[in-house]
Amino acid sequence: MLGKRGNAPKAKANPKLIIVIVIAVLALLCVGESFYSVREQEQAVLTMFGKVLRVDTAGLYFKIPFIQDVHTIDMTTHGVGIGYYIKDGQNITVDDEGVMITSDFNFVDIDFYLEYKVSDPVAFYYNSSNPEVIMKNMALACIRNTVVNYTVDDVITTAKGQIQAEVKEKLQNELTNSNIGMMVVNLSVQDAEPPTEEIVQAFKSVETAKQGKDTAVNNAKKYQSEELPKAEADADKIVQDAEAYKQARIAEAEGQVARFNEMYEQYKLQPYITKKRLFYETMEEVLPDLKVIITDGNTQQMLPLDNFNGND
């Protein structure tokens, strides 16, 4: 009897209470899953079975629990370095990422800072698995395609603004065509310099050679400016001398023609006498020391009469 009295009867579980508790828990879960809030600078994509139902901006919204899903997208502006990254407030160079080739076949290490944000949350979520990586690769391609059109001097000095404007335009066009839901806010050149110490030295050597080339060109132009007028003056003198010689020869020829015509008129009047006179004049010119002897074959006559004793 004592043993039976020491064993207390066990309490039985209340099925109704368990059901109430389960229902309460499910109700709490449903309430928690039925409402969602979207913060400022965010947008939410509401989907059901993979289909987009709507895009919500900041506010409190209701959804069907366990059936509809919400994907929150950050719409604020973000920044990323190209050619470097920031760690603990310091810029860390990424090897070879910013090294570009220029139009004059030199290398330059150029860094950019890209600011971007999501423009289409649906395309951003659905059209690519990693849109930010795709965007950075596009940016690198656009930078290389732009820098290759400039000389290393322009990239390092005066063309930075033009380069970043061209890269920004090309990158935005690529993002639009790829439809990954992103847009460029700003793009700026951070730094541009030769990539390594060896290339720095080679770049200085190239600059020295260019300066030497410019000096040689300037000296050549100076020599040209000095010698060209002198050569032109000499050429003018030669032309003038040739023209004077030409006129002299023409005048001489015209004089000879006039003399010939005059002699011809005399010849027509007295052919025999004119022939004799021309013969004698020619002989005097050809043989100035010639002695002319005129004879009839019998009597010797000398004109002019010679001094037979040998005295002049």
List, in sequence order, the alpha helices (H) in the chain: 2-6, 15-34, 121-126, 131-147, 152-156, 160-178, 197-269, 271-286
Peptide bond into 304 cis (omega under 30): yes
Peptide bond into 271 cis (omega under 30): no
pLDDT confidence of residue 280:
76
pLDDT confidence of residue 296:
61
pLDDT confidence of residue 205:
80
- Write the pLDDT tens digit of every residue in 59-85: 989 888 878 888 999 999 999 999 888
| Alpha-carbon distances of 126 from 63, 71, 204, rounded to whole Å | 20, 11, 50
Three-state secondary structure call for residue 147: helix
- For residues 70 and 36, the answer to whether their CB atoms sit within 8 Å is yes
pLDDT confidence of residue 13:
58
Three-state secondary structure call for residue 288: coil
The parts of the chain modelled with pLDDT lower than 70 are 1-13, 16-17, 20, 22-32, 196, 199-200, 203, 287-312
Handedness of CA 84, 85, 90, 96 (dihedral sign): negative
pLDDT confidence of residue 4:
47
C-alpha torsion angle, residues 79, 130, 191, 185 (rounded to 10) = -40
- For residues 108 and 159, the answer to whether their CB atoms sit within 8 Å is no
Domain residue ranges in the chain: 19-74, 78-196
Which residue type does 70 have?
Answer: V
pLDDT confidence of residue 261:
82
- For residues 82 and 112, the answer to whether their CB atoms sit within 8 Å is yes
Looking at domain 78-196, its CATH architecture is: 2-Layer Sandwich (3.30)
β pairing state of 90-93 and 84-87: antiparallel
pLDDT confidence of residue 78:
94
